[in-house]
Structure 1
Amino acid sequence: MPVDPYAALRPASPIRFLYGINPLAKLLAPLPAMALLVFVRDITTPLVFVALTYLVLLVGVSFTRRLAALLLLVPVAAVVMGLGFAIWTDSSGVNQSIVLWQIGGWTMYGGAMLVGLATGARVAAIVSLALIVGLSTTGPDLVRASVQQLRVPYRIGYTALAAFRFVPRFGYELDVIRQAHRVRGSHGGRGPVAAVRRWVGYIVPLLAGAIRHAERVALAMDARAFGAHPDRTERHLVPFRTRDVVFIVVFLAVSTVVFAATFPWVLA
Structure 2
Amino acid sequence: MGRVSAEPAVAAEIPGSAVDPYADRVPAPPLRFLYGLNPLVKLLAPVPAMVLLVFVRDIATPSAFLALSYAVLLVGVNFTRRLAAILLLAVPLGILLLGVGFSLWTDAAQVDSTPVVAQLGAWTLYRGALEIGFASAFRIVAIIALALPAGLSTTGPDIVRSTVQQLRVPYRIGYTALAAFRFVPRFGHELEVIRQAHRVRGAHGGRGPFATAARWTGYIVPLLAGAIRHAERVALSMDARAFGAYPDRTERHLVPFRARDVVFAVLFLAASAVIFVALFPWGLG
- Quickly name the TM-score band, shorter chain normalised: over 0.9
| TM alignment of 1:58-137, pairs within 5 A | 58-72=74-88, 73-94=90-111, 96-137=113-154
- Residue 43 of structure 2 is aligned to residue 27 of structure 1: yes
Superposed displacement of residue 98, structure 1? 1.2
Q: Could you tell me how far apart the structure 2 residues matched to 1:97 and 1:147 are?
A: 54
1:256 to 270, 273, 276: 273
Cα deviation 1:92-147 (Å, max 9, x = unaligned):
12263211100100100000000000111011101110101000000000000000
In structure 2, list runs of 5 or more residues that go unmatched. Answer: 1-16
Confirm or deny: 8 A CA contact 1:43 1:122 kept in the other structure.
yes
Q: Could you tell me how far apart the structure 1 residues matched to 2:80 and 2:204 are?
A: 36
Q: Could you tell me how far apart the structure 2 residues matched to 1:81 and 1:42 are?
A: 15
51-60 or 67-76: bigger deviation = 67-76
1:216 to 230, 233, 237: 233
- Residue 31 of structure 2 is aligned to residue 15 of structure 1: yes
- Residue 227 of structure 2 is aligned to residue 207 of structure 1: no
Cα deviation 1:74-98 (Å, max 9, x = unaligned):
1211111110000000011226321
Cα deviation 1:131-174 (Å, max 9, x = unaligned):
01000000000000000000000000000000000000000000
Letter in 2 for 1:101: A
Give the match for residue 10 of structure 2: none
TM-score by structure 1 length?
A: 0.98
- Residue 58 of structure 2 is aligned to residue 42 of structure 1: yes
CA RMSD, Structure 1 to Structure 2 (Å): 1.0
Letter in 2 for 1:218: A
Q: Flag the structure with more relative contact order, 1 or 2, with Cα contacts below 8 A and sequence separation at least 6.
A: 2
93-102 or 143-152: bigger deviation = 93-102
Q: Which secondary structure does the structure 2 equivalent of 1:5 belong to? A: coil
Give the match for residue 145 of structure 1: 162
Matched positions, count: 267
Confirm or deny: 8 A CA contact 1:82 1:118 kept in the other structure.
yes
Letter in 1 for 2:58: D
Give the match for residue 3 of structure 2: none
Cα deviation 1:171-196 (Å, max 9, x = unaligned):
00000000000000013310011101
Q: Could you tell me how far apart the structure 1 residues matched to 2:191 and 2:50 are?
A: 37
Runs of 4+ in 1 over 4 A off after TM superposition: none
Cα deviation 1:14-56 (Å, max 9, x = unaligned):
0000001100000111010011111110000001101110010
Superposed displacement of residue 222, structure 1? 0.3
Q: Could you tell me how far apart the structure 2 residues matched to 1:201 and 1:38 are?
A: 46
Letter in 2 for 1:173: E
Confirm or deny: 8 A CA contact 2:69 2:149 kept in the other structure.
yes
Letter in 1 for 2:151: G
Confirm or deny: 8 A CA contact 1:99 1:109 kept in the other structure.
yes
Letter in 1 for 2:46: P
Q: Could you tell me how far apart the structure 1 residues matched to 2:30 and 2:204 are?
A: 49
Letter in 2 for 1:165: R
Give the match for residue 190 of structure 1: 207
| TM alignment of 1:207-246, pairs within 5 A | 207-246=224-263
- Residue 176 of structure 2 is aligned to residue 159 of structure 1: yes
Q: Could you tell me how far apart the structure 2 residues matched to 1:96 and 1:17 are?
A: 49
Give the match for residue 173 of structure 1: 190
Percent of pairs with identical residues:
71
Letter in 2 for 1:76: L
